[in-house]
Structure 1
Amino acid sequence: MLIDVTKCTEECTGCSDACAKENNIPQIEDKDRQIQYIRKLKIEDKAGKKPPISLPVLCNHCEHPPCEHVCPTSATFIRKDGLVLVDKHRCIGCRYCMIACPYKARSLVYQENETPVAELNGETPIRAAGVVEKCSFCVHLIDKGELPACVQSCNQSHGGAMMFGDLNDPNSEIAKKVAEVKSLTLRADLGLKPHVHYQGL
């Protein structure tokens, strides 16, 4: 994934709204117990010379994910295409992965989803309480040849800040964009090789 923060605005919640709808993420009033696949951070220049940056942060689907290494049940695993996923049937909710993730990209499901069935997306499962969840890049959509919900929403009716594709394919649009314009990854110093790149930082 590639995110151009120069096209992302603080007031826009298109990516997180689309994500919540697609993945049946319930709205929880208690902020400490909210499930977030995407959270937006406001980054301010302490010197005041640059305008604030709106930074969407999500699972970076690292090549060397610390969450996978600490999982005692192998509930967190890396798919052949590089996606880091959670097997909800194996997760025991120990939260070791939440502690290990440097991006704070995981959430524990504290309570059952009470959203009326008619309002739920039948394409994605409802998570049970006691399971840790995170962004899957909408794997159910990718497997059908579609883009993740956040990318679709951002490109259709918002700023067009998000791009998704195969970074290993030099002919892909995303690989060309990364080659043309300098991009950074968050916490590159940790050597995790995250697969979410940012431009405009």
Structure 2
Amino acid sequence: MSIDRRRFFTVAGLGVLGVAGVKALGANVVGDPDKLPRLPSATPVKGKRFAMVVDMKACTEQGFAKCVEACHRTHNVPTFADKQEEVKWIWGEPFHDAFPELHHEHLVSGLAEHEFPVFCNHCDNPPCTRVCPTQATWKREDGVVMMDWHRCIGCRYCIAACPYGSRSFNWRDPRPHIAEITTEFPTRERGVVEKCNFCEERLARGQMPACAEACQGDEHPVLSFGDLDDPNSIVRQLLAVRPAIRRKPELGTEPQVYYLV
């Protein structure tokens, strides 16, 4: 092969990768932009250690439904009738399932019946990333645990390793089961794993995660997102004045989702 011919294929390959990268960074804007708090679109949301704080006192059934809908609409999450094929990025679990080590018969009234929003915990010590044979899942320097669907071979080792049930497998083509496909986020295909990504594509565009924008609560935000290493961030301020719990901390995974109770 001549040098010119070799150079042509090299440049063409880079062009294809560039287009794929642009697609992967797309994001769907949720809600009325005039009413929702938003950072300048030209300024990426940066942090050294991202975390989410969930205020259970402010969480309502109606608000939580908006949160789930915003997340799943933004990320082209399919809806299957068969629960065994269910794909979910954020969902609700009762206290005794979300926090089995904390459950007892003398819980504060109403706590046991409350559904807790659960999703990927973006652990500081994620077991899922260690078992992936193709490095299709990894943790960024800012703590976001990522997925590369082009690398995923569907072995499901990460699903087995995750103690929170935060990952879903596409047993069949999800596209026909998406109510309304947004072109601003890539759809997946049969045979790959997916999960919450802390809306990394929105962070790159200066926007908060879709769930946090959609679920603001009547008086206080239900979901607050920010940098744990920044003492002035909203997450640090909340954790400084309210008691918080995390899911299965005894496992040593260091989950970065905190629940104010």
Secondary structure, aligned partner of 1:13: helix
Report the 3-state secondary structure (helix = DSSP H, G, I; strand = E; otherwise coil) of the residue aligned with 2:213.
Answer: helix
1:65 and 2:116 aligned: no
Highest CA radius of gyration, 1 or 2?
Answer: 2
1:89–1:158 Cα change, 3 Å: farther
Q: Does the aligned pair in 1 maintain the 2:79–2:178 contact within 8 Å?
A: no
> Is residue 59–residue 134 contact of structure 1 (8 Å, CA) maintained in 2?
yes
Counterpart-to-counterpart distance in 1, 2:246 and 2:217: 25
Residue identity in the other structure for 1:40: G
Say whether 1:111 aligns with 2:162.
no
Percent of aligned pairs sharing the same letter: 40
> 2:218 & 2:160 partners in 1: Cα distance?
35
Is the CA contact (8 Å cut-off) linking 2:126 and 2:253 kept in structure 1? yes
Question: What letter matches 1:104 in structure 2?
Answer: G
Seen in structure 2, the aligned counterparts of structure 1 residues 116 and 35 have a Cα distance that, compared at 3 Å, is closer
Alpha carbons 1:6, 1:53 under 8 Å: kept: no
> Which portions of structure 1, spanning 4 or more consecutive aligned residues, are displaced by more than 4 angstroms?
156-159
Structure 1 Cα separation of the partners of residues 58 and 160 of structure 2: 31
Cα pair 1:68 1:77 within 8 Å, conserved: yes
What's the offset of the Cα at 1:171? Answer: 1.1
Q: How does 1:27-46 map to 2 (within 5 A)?
A: 27-43=79-95, 46=105
Alpha-carbon shift at residue 2 of structure 1 (Å): 0.2
Which residue does the alignment assign to 1:21? Answer: 73
User: Structure 2 vs 1, CA of residues 157 and 108 (structure 1 numbering), >3 Å: closer, same or farther?
Assistant: farther
- Measured on the aligned residues, the alpha-carbon RMSD in Å equals 2.0
Task: Work out the CA distance in 2 between the residues paired with 1:95 and 1:10.
Answer: 32
Shift of 1:36: 0.6
Q: Which residue of 2 aligns with 1:3?
A: 54
SS at match of 1:14: helix
- Name stretches of at least 5 consecutive residues in structure 2 with no aligned partner: 1-51, 97-103
The 5 Å alignment of 1:96-135 reads: 96-112=157-173, 113-114=175-176, 119-135=180-196
Tell me, yes or no, if structure 1 residue 182 matches structure 2 residue 243: yes
| Alpha-carbon displacement from aligned partner over 1:108-150 (angstroms, at most 9, x marks no partner) | 0122211579x31121100111000000011110111111111
Listed one character per residue, the Cα deviations across residues 72-96 of structure 1 (whole Å, up to 9, x for unaligned) are: 1111111121100111111111111
Distance 1:177-1:109 versus aligned 2 partners, 3 A rule: same
Distance 1:71 1:150, change over 3 A: same
Task: Please tell me the residue identity of whatever aligns with 2:194.
Answer: E
Question: Quick one: distance in 1 between partners of 2:220 and 2:251?
Answer: 30
Structure 1 residue 46 displacement after superposition: 3.6
Q: Take 1:46 and 1:177, find their aligned partners in 2: how far apart are those partners?
A: 28
Query: 2:109 maps to what in 1?
Result: 50
